[in-house]
Structure 1
Amino acid sequence: MIALIGLIIGIILGIAFNINFPLKLSPYISVAIFACIDSTFGAIRATLNKDFRPDIFISGFFGNAFLAAGMVYLGDKLGIPVYIAAIIIFGQRIFTNFAVIRRLLMDRIKTHH
């Protein structure tokens, strides 16, 4: 539930404050956002599975974002577009977690009717 509330607050703040980043930072920001969304969906999944741990969520949320941004930085220095691979991996994980979340919710709806 904490993750969902954080996601909603983040969306509201993102809409309320029109923050622009330099184009050069867009690969870093996009990967960090995908990492944070991945952590949020993982937290929602863990909550539905009744094994959510706030310490794991917080460390994963910030750790994944910084690690992903660091990998993009390293790739940038090496001339390798690492951010593309990171976005693909995070995107796959987000969709996988969403599929599991959807199934868990559908199972709960079926058992309550």
Structure 2
Amino acid sequence: MDRYWRLADMKKVLILCIVASLLGGLIGYFVPVVIPVECSKLFSVAILAGIESVVKGVRMLIKKDFKSHLFIYGFFINIFVAIIFVFIGDCLGLDLYYVVLLALGFKLLQDLDIVKLYVLNK
């Protein structure tokens, strides 16, 4: 059962997200992973979709509208749909990759703007 988050809970979640991001970045920097060129579009879109979903979750925390099951489902569905669009575009010879990047980037910037305004107003 979901409940509204208090400000202290939101700070804990934000700190956890920052620590997890830094830890993931350090692991990614020091562990040599080679992504094939054929899959680079899919991985970049998946990473951007994941980042967009996390920032949207932070926005939902700020608006006190966070529901954990919707966040988890939305996270994986967002990544899956973005990858499918890029894959189908590649199969058809279309550059849907740019469309997906533009749409995800626009949503990401909107959500970051809401988070920024909240942080600056507190």
Identical-residue share of aligned pairs (%): 29
TM-score, reference length from structure 2 = 0.80
State the match for 1:104 in structure 2. 118
Q: Which runs of 5+ in 2 are unaligned?
A: 1-12
State the match for 2:17 in structure 1. 4
RMSD (Å), alpha carbons: 1.7
Distance 2:121 2:110 in 1: 17
State the match for 2:84 in structure 1. 70
Runs of 4 or more, structure 1, over 4 Å off, are none
Q: 1:12 to 1:46 in 2, by over 3 A?
A: farther
Mapping 1:1-113, distance limit 5 Å: 1=13, 4=17, 6-108=20-122
Distance 1:76 1:66 in 2: 15
Distance 1:80 1:32 in 2: 18
State the match for 2:3 in structure 1. none
CA deviation after TM superposition for structure 1 residue 65, in Å: 0.7
CA deviations 1:54-96 (Å, max 9, x no partner) are 1111111111111111111110110001111000111111111
Distance 1:12 1:90 in 2: 24
TM-score, reference length from structure 1 = 0.86
Q: 1:51 to 1:12 in 2, by over 3 A?
A: farther
Distance 2:67 2:24 in 1: 20
SS of 2:98's partner is: helix
Q: Which runs of 5+ in 1 are unaligned?
A: 109-113
